[in-house]
Amino acid sequence: MLRATIGLAVAALLLVASPLHAQSGADSVKTYFTGKQVVLKIDMPGTQKGVDLKFNQSPPMNWKDYSSRVKDFGAAIRKGDTARVTSIVVKGDMIEFQLDGGGFGTFGDDTQTTVAPKQVEKSDYEKQLEQQISQTDDSDKKAQLQRDLDREQAKRKREQQANDRAAQVASQLKAEQVAEKRAQGGSRFNLRWKGSIPQDQLNPDAIMKLLADYVDFGSLHQASAPVAAAPAANAAVAPAAAPAPAPDSSPTAQLKRGMTLQDVTALLGQGRQLSESTSSDNLKTQVFEYLPGDRRVEITYVDGLVVRFSITSR
């Protein structure tokens, strides 16, 4: 009886100790990595879906899925770039290794790129004309009413077409905004296991080995090394901190998506058109080059509104 009681007590202690050990491992991993910098060996997709690594299969990377995500969402972090570990999330069967924010598309991020056009409803006058036509037997009067109705319907159609075009341009602007946020939103690695995370993998050294083919942790070790204190004599003559740079007041700093071609011309001067095309839905796309000062600006317009621009030195 005593032996059975002791056995039950030991089993109970083991059940308690296991989650405590896992929690301790999770805390040590979070403390070690969070805030540190690493260098990427692959492009990281601009989405919260990140890169999946499944350690119950060999190789852990499904390169087809990886390529699809980079193609669909673009690269938020490029191969060779330095990124900061902003969060480590440990779950039952996975570890999220989040970089530069963890990826665009989490709760609260607006990922919609389509703007629905405002629908133009029938006016009271149009409804009245339809009712009058249905209630009259006079052919001459009916013909006149029909002409009035045709004009009213044509007016509504023109208004709807204008709304549709405005929505198409707004959708292109929205798509550019989402693409920009994806490029700035970071990414993540999802380290996955079948069942639960093995206890011997829930530590910094093990995670660095698992990610060694995709991440260079050399800079992490350098960043975590203590910095030697400067000699006291040097401290006495240390120069004052440099003042913060003044905000960029150049014309190119005032560029914004949604500006008209006329506004840009007034800002940057006359540009040179590089190309022009018209889509199947009759939207005109133009690409212009501007050379203000020592910079080159390339701007894409859709129906005369800026939807994309890039600025380089020359």
* 90 band by pLDDT with thresholds 50, 70 and 90: very high
Report the b/e string of 45-78 with b at 16+ CB within 10 A.
bbbbbbbbbbbeeeebbeeeebeebbeebbbbbe
Average pLDDT, the chain: 86
Residue with tokens 């994309």: 308
All domains of the chain, ordered by start, with CATH? Answer: 13-104+185-223 (no CATH), 124-180 (no CATH), 251-313 (3.30.1450.10)
266: pLDDT confidence band, cut at 50, 70 and 90? very high
pTM above 0.85, yes or no: no
Q: Is the dihedral of CA 108, 99, 188, 87 positive or negative?
A: negative
Residues 187/136, Cβ–Cβ less than 8 Å: no
Q: Is the bond into 59 cis (omega within 30 degrees of 0)?
A: yes
Q: Check pLDDT > 60 for residue 276.
A: yes
Q: Which residue has the tokens 């089993």?
A: 11
Q: Strands (DSSP E) along the chain, which ranges?
A: 37-40, 44-45, 51-54, 75-77, 82-90, 94-99, 187-192, 215-216, 272-278, 284-290, 295-302, 305-313
Residues 152, 131: Cα–Cα separation, whole Å: 14
Tens digit of pLDDT for each residue in 125-139? 999 999 999 999 999
pLDDT (tens digit, 9 = 90+) per residue, 216-241? 998 565 444 444 444 444 444 445 55
Enumerate residues 6+ apart whose C-beta is below 8 A from 85.
Answer: 33, 34, 35, 36, 37, 38, 97, 98, 99
Look at 34-48, 150-164, 169-183 and tell me which has the smallest mean pLDDT.
169-183
pLDDT at res. 15:
43
Q: Are 100 and 86 in contact (CB under 8 A)?
A: yes
